[in-house]
Amino acid sequence: MFLVETWLKEEGAATLIEACPPNYKFYQSIRDNKRGGGIAVIFSDKLSCNEINLGTFTSFEYLAIKVKTDHSLLLITLYRPPKSSPTFLSDFSTLVSAVLTNYDRIIITGDFNIHVNKSGDSNGKDLLNTLDGFGLHQYVTEATHQLGNTLDLVISQPANINNISVSDIAISDHYCVLFEFPFTIHSNRETGATHKRCINESAQQKITELISSRDLLNGHKSLDEMVAGFNSNLKEILDEKQNAAHELKPRHG
């Protein structure tokens, strides 16, 4: 989930913690010393994600997240204030050119505050031309703001995004943009070996006889000492009788 204009400060992390479903985490970027702004990304803990720094830009805020998948994937959430610096397109081009050479796939989402739906809007035309020059596609074609403009964008390489839709969830003047992006999760689990003792009926009887022949409690007085003594003696019995207990072949999983 990509959120912009969170208006959260450093102490606002508690709000995001409360907003996260079970087994979800988040990253956030706050606007220092000014009201408004702020970006957050909420994601499943099944994903291996890392926030990365792509430099500092004065014309927009951003949060970049690298995701371990079958291909290198970078997610960038961007917020451009309505009265942004005229250097926005130059800054944005610098950002995009830097990441395209290092990642197989990128997805850029966020509130650009540019009317890409208006053919006569020079900022919108310039942005779309810039994206075209990088081989990127802007997927949102519906209004994402209550005044009827398309301000919130989803940008990626062609054919990366599926089932995009816009929904008014009635909690903001901006609408929610939904989309699907198929990828294979990179597993962080290391292949390990599981070792077990295998005790057959004959071995079990022999071990029972050995246990009966020993004073496993051996005069220990406290409960902790009795448990420790019992475990120690039992381990010695199992280790002595290697014919009664053997190690299975490693099971990988």
pTM for the full predicted model:
0.71
- What pLDDT band is residue 243 in, cutting at 50, 70 and 90? very low
Count of the separate structural domains present in the chain: 2
Q: Tell me whether residue 209 is in a domain.
A: yes
d(CA 112, CA 1): 17
Q: Tell me whether residue 186 is in a domain.
A: no
Q: What is the structure's pLDDT at 90?
A: 96
Alpha-carbon distances, residue 212 vs 8, 56, 199, 207, 225 (angstroms): 67, 74, 18, 9, 19
DSSP state of 185: B
- What pLDDT band is residue 227 in, cutting at 50, 70 and 90? low
Query: Is the pLDDT at 250 greater than 70, yes or no?
Result: no
DSSP state of 145: B
Same domain, 119 and 221: no
Q: Tell me whether residue 253 is in a domain.
A: no
Cα four-point dihedral sign 150, 82, 101, 31: negative
Q: What is the structure's pLDDT at 208?
A: 67
Residue 247 falls in which region: left (phi positive, over 0), alpha (psi -120 to 50) or beta: beta
Q: Tell me whether residue 115 is in a domain.
A: yes
Predicted confidence (pLDDT) per residue in 89-125, tens digit: 999 999 999 999 999 999 999 999 999 999 999 999 9
Same domain, 71 and 172: yes
Q: Residue 236 half-sphere exposure, CB side, CA atoms within 13 Å?
A: 10
Q: What is the structure's pLDDT at 67?
A: 93
Q: What is the structure's pLDDT at 171?
A: 86
Q: How many CB atoms lie within 10 A of CB 142?
A: 14
Query: Is the pLDDT at 245 greater than 60, yes or no?
Result: no
Question: Which DSSP helix (H) or strand (E) runs through 7?
Answer: none
Same domain, 113 and 202: no
Predicted confidence (pLDDT) per residue in 168-218, tens digit: 988 899 999 999 998 887 655 444 444 445 555 665 666 666 666 666 555
Q: Are 37 and 63 within 8 A, CB to CB?
A: no
Same domain, 172 and 206: no
Same domain, 163 and 202: no
Same domain, 121 and 211: no
Same domain, 146 and 232: no
Choosing from 180, 213, 238, the residue where a domain stops is: 180
* % helix, strand, coil for the chain, step of 5: 25, 25, 50
Same domain, 166 and 241: no
Alpha-carbon distances, residue 250 vs 5, 140, 194, 195, 198 (angstroms): 52, 51, 5, 6, 13
Same domain, 51 and 81: yes
Residue 110: strand, helix, or coil: strand
Predicted confidence (pLDDT) per residue in 9-54, tens digit: 777 778 888 888 899 999 988 887 677 788 999 999 889 999 999 9
Q: Tell me whether residue 191 is in a domain.
A: no
DSSP string across 127-188: HHHHHHHTT-EE---S--BTTS---EEEEESTT--EEEEEE--SSSSBPEEEEE---PBPP-
Q: What is the structure's pLDDT at 11?
A: 72
Same domain, 236 and 125: no
d(CA 83, CA 34): 14
Q: What angle do CA 16, 19, 21 make, to 5 degrees?
A: 120
Q: How many CB atoms lie within 10 A of CB 147?
A: 8
Mean pLDDT on 226-250: 57
Q: Can you name the residues that pair with 34 across neighbouring β-strands?
A: none
Query: Is the pLDDT at 253 greater than 70, yes or no?
Result: no
The whole domain housing 221 covers 197-247
Q: What is the structure's pLDDT at 115?
A: 96
Backbone angles phi, psi at 146, to 5 degrees: -65, -20
Between 222 and 85, residue with greater pLDDT: 85
Q: Tell me whether residue 30 is in a domain.
A: yes
d(CA 208, CA 71): 56
Query: Is the pLDDT at 158 greater than 70, yes or no?
Result: yes
Q: Tell me whether residue 148 is in a domain.
A: yes
Same domain, 221 and 149: no
Q: Tell me whether residue 11 is in a domain.
A: yes
